A and B are shown apart, each in its own frame.
Chain A
Amino acid sequence: MAESDLALIGAWQSPFVLRARVALNIKNLQYVFHEETFGNKSELLLKSNPVHKKIPVLLHSGKSICESLIIVEYIDEVWSSSGHAILPSDPYGRAIARFWAAYIDEKFFPSLRSIAVVQDEAGKKAAVEQVITGISLLEKAFGESSKGKPFFGGDHIGYLDIAFGGMLGWIKVTETIAGLKLIDPETTPQLAQWAEKFIHDPAVSGVFPDIGTLTEYSKVVIAKLRGSAGAK
């Protein structure tokens, strides 16, 4: 379905933008992608998201929708008869999916980011512990949510698959940079299988970042973030 009035402001590296792109792909939607440059926000972005000035922003028929998880729910609701349903159909299933997505955003992602950026050993150790705890909780949640099927959402990629799957690129980069095993067939067998299925799913494979390129990019970003932290 071609939508001439559908656009996404984003960047290839962002796990949050990836969430929106997977949702758009699930619904077979065509859209214009406005690529942002790190450190140089466009007028369009500042105008479309004046409160947070952050990507992703979905532009649909002149309206802007911000915050990746809100965008995913919006896409699921507007194009409810396209592709497959993203949110679970029952209220309790939805509450659980939203709970874990909120956990990923509030606790997991900030710690993941800290591992690479924070320079003091104690801070880094705490961040690593938080990430490892998070992954083991999500391994358990996967068992409960998937009920033997390939995804958190069951047969198909769902809301929590998107929320966590968006992070996979940065999880792999962190493993390389920090010499850690985070999602691993030995310690997290279910998530290891799930990660491969997610990355190779048709809704994901075309938009998932190349890990080599992302790793190189991350070194540049980390240097900048450490540099600015040191200057304070």
Chain B
Amino acid sequence: MADEEVILLDFWGSMFGMRVRIALAEKGIKYEYKEEDLWNKSTLLVEMNPIHKRIPVLIHNGKSICESLIIVQYVDEVWHGKAPLLPSDPYQRAHARFWADVVDDKMYDAGKNVWATKGEDQEAANKVFFDTLKLLEAELGDKPYFGGDSFGFVDVALIPYYSWFHAYETFGNFSIEAECPKLIAWAKRCTEKESVSKSLADENKICEFVSQLRNKFGIE
């Protein structure tokens, strides 16, 4: 559709922004990417997301859609002809929404607490982190993707965190592959898709970014 105007307000390292990038890439949608400085938010961002003032925000023909999983569902519904992300069966859809919610509920804090803490607090954080990954790995089971045979909604929700794994491993001092080999195999399978590999941030840049955050918050 040549007359569609699609703009994404995003931050290069955001796993939430990456979800939207992947969805747009899966659907082959051309869009304008606008990088936000999270410490100096643009007037456009504040105007388009006045409630939360956070990225990602999708602006489609002048209307803003906020919250990453809501945006992904919106993209899936508007551009429904190609690469469906949610299944068509209502129970499978409910199941996918449930597990995407589990990712939202648990992953961000679990990961953050790994790099944002030290000593005993970090030991506790590491345990919660692996409990979360193992819960997700059990749900994946022997399927190639969380969506079954094809890449879907839950895969989109979780795969951006893979770009942060190197940072979690570095600062948490552990190996994710050693504990959750199936999950790593799944992640590598996902990154073979161009929509994913082009959307994920570079893991070394993320690691450097986290190091800066740790300095900023006095964690080192």
Chain A residues with CB under 8 Å of chain B are 51, 60, 63, 65-67, 70-71, 73-74, 77-78, 91-92, 94-95, 98-99, 102-103, 137
Chain A min CB distance to B152 (Å): 16
Q: Which residues from B are CB-within-8-Å of A95? A: 65, 70-71, 73-74
Q: Which residues from A are CB-within-8-Å of B67? A: 98-99, 102
Interface of B is mostly: helix
Total inter-chain residue pairs, C-beta < 8 Å: 52
Closest to B80 in A: A91
Cα distance, A78 to B89, chains bound together (Å) = 9
Q: Which residues from A are CB-within-8-Å of B101? A: 67, 70
Cα distance, A94 to B76, chains bound together (Å) = 12
User: Could you say which of B25-33, B92-100, B141-149, B154-162 contacts chain A?
Assistant: B92-100
Cα distance, A144 to B70, chains bound together (Å) = 19
Extra contacts besides A73-B97, A92-B65 (4): CB < 8 Å = A77-B90, A92-B60, A94-B74, A95-B65
Chain A min CB distance to B47 (Å): 15
Chain B residues with CB under 8 Å of chain A are 51, 60, 63, 65-67, 70-71, 73-74, 77-78, 90-91, 93-94, 97-98, 101-102, 135
Interface of A is mostly: helix
Q: Which residues from B are CB-within-8-Å of A77? A: 90, 93
Contact yes or no, B98 A70, CB < 8 A: yes
Cα distance, A74 to B90, chains bound together (Å) = 6
Contact yes or no, A65 B70, CB < 8 A: no
Closest to A103 in B: B51
Contact yes or no, B51 A137, CB < 8 A: yes
CB-contact partner of A63 in B63, B70, B74, B91, under 8 A: B91
In the complex, 10 of the A-B residue pairs with CB atoms within 8 angstroms, ordered by the A residue number, are A51-B102, A51-B135, A65-B94, A66-B98, A70-B94, A71-B94, A77-B93, A92-B65, A95-B73, A98-B67
